[in-house]
Amino acid sequence: MQCRRPEVEAKCRRLSCVHPKVCKLMGTDHTPLRDLMRKSRELPGIKKVNVASGIRMDLAADAPEYLDELATHHVGGHLKVAPEHTSAKVLQKMKKPGGDSFERFAARFKEASQRAGKEQYLVPYFIASHPGSGLEEMIELALYLKENGYRPRQVQDFIPAPMDIATCMYYTGLDPETLTPVESAQTASDRGLQRALLQYWEPRNHALVKRALERAGRRDLIGDGRECLIPARAPAMRDPAKRDDDGPRGRGPSRNGEPGYRGPARSRARR
């Protein structure tokens, strides 16, 4: 995919063709990719070609023919996507589309899977401690996970990498575009609190999550009510040798029949 006007691209100073929204000159035709997918599964001796990750959600959501092709032939039960966060402030620092982009893609992927007659799940990845993300933003993300009944077993923790704008923000404390201050979790203790919030339900994280909620002034989320994030008392630690209630690594349907993540789940019964 590339700019449809090379003479404009040669002069363009925009940092991203897809942020804050997709440029109207950006060629987003998925036909070459669909052709490649068809050719790959027509090769002699090839039974299945799975796409496990690497989906640009905001572009794919508006390409129904590509989604149908993907859901029908190239998903092996689970598809990994990277919404990364729910906070608009943090997503802006990441140059990622807004949180509604994930919801839109999830709904359309679910519809494509249903048209294909398949039960398939999304595995969304989220990140802690990214520049711009404080405790308030991580609590917002934790509440989103709880509301949607999702308990990720695999999460990311921000690591500064060379040649990355986020690394510049981490080390300087400034947004290089605007020179405005950017909050970053610098200490191991602060990073640990954010990381624990992504898996708030884990008994081993109870003390850290409680400390994070108290520090953020959110004691209202500690207790036994349905709106609370964690119980007042730490739950008993589980035997790691036993199977998790959420199924293998929390990524699909468990033996007790509870579904995995298949798009917006606000209509399902909450835990």
Inter-residue contact 195 to 157 (CB < 8 Å): yes
Give residue-wise pLDDT tens across range 18-50: 888 889 999 999 999 999 999 999 999 999 999
Minimum mean pLDDT range among 8-12, 78-82, 189-193, 261-265: 261-265
**Closest C-alpha among 117, 54, 107 to residue 82:** 54
* Claim to verify: residue 101 and residue 145 sit in the same structural domain: no
Residue 208 lies in a domain: yes
pLDDT band at 242 (very low <50, low <70, confident <90, very high): low
List C-alpha distances in Å: 74 to 80, 88, 185, 217.
13, 31, 38, 46
pLDDT given for residue 183 in this prediction: 92
Mean per-residue pLDDT, 226-252: 67
CA–CA dist 96, 114 (Å, integer)? 28
pLDDT at 244 over 60: no
* Claim to verify: residue 145 and residue 99 sit in the same structural domain: no
Mean per-residue pLDDT, 92-115: 92
CA–CA dist 31, 84 (Å, integer)? 27
Domain that holds residue 213: 129-238
* Claim to verify: residue 136 and residue 106 sit in the same structural domain: no
CA–CA dist 92, 58 (Å, integer)? 14
What is the layout of strands, in order, in the sheet containing 78-84?
78-84, 121-128, 156-157
What angle separates helix 188-198 from helix 206-215, to the nearest 10 degrees?
110
* Claim to verify: residue 135 and residue 234 sit in the same structural domain: yes
The reported pTM is 0.80
Minimum mean pLDDT range among 135-149, 233-247, 255-269: 255-269
CA–CA dist 1, 179 (Å, integer)? 31
* Claim to verify: residue 109 and residue 166 sit in the same structural domain: no
Tally of domains in the chain: 2
* Claim to verify: residue 183 and residue 92 sit in the same structural domain: no
pLDDT given for residue 208 in this prediction: 97
Minimum mean pLDDT range among 80-89, 119-128, 253-262: 253-262
pLDDT given for residue 257 in this prediction: 33
